[in-house]
Amino acid sequence: MRFRITFFSAALLLLAASAFGQTRGFLKVAVIDGDGAFNDIKNKIGHPPAVEVRDESNDVVAGAEVVFTMPALGPGGTFANGQRSMKATTDGRGIATAGSFRPNPTEGRFAIAVAASYMGKQGAAMVGQSNTLASSGGHSNKK
């Protein structure tokens, strides 16, 4: 009987945690810039994404490592380091920016994968963008 009460209590705790949409130890990664942006292939102008990282208590996380990764094939580009991925660290406001990147010559939509980690906690997000030959003026849905 004692085992059942303990098991039942643990099940209730897990159910309560999932009801709030968060499990202890996870990071929330919110895209704050670059989502929906159109990158200018002709002028080689890309729009670097930025994210905000918060913990399970909704506090900003300074010092988190954030990795931004472009797709291997199709539309995408390279970061200032000439690679498809780059690392950044969140500042005191919990914000990390990918820095500049150049779109490749392939038109179309793509997603930049974002992975954050801090003291064993992890979180992820995707940033949707498009490469275009048309002059776009650099539209971005989020700023």
Q: Pick the residue with more confidence: 122 or 2? A: 122
Assess whether pLDDT exceeds 50 at residue 18.
no
Split at pLDDT 50, 70, 90, the class of 25 is confident
Regarding pTM above 0.85, the answer is no
Mean pLDDT of 58-72: 97
Distance CA 69, CA 91 (A): 20
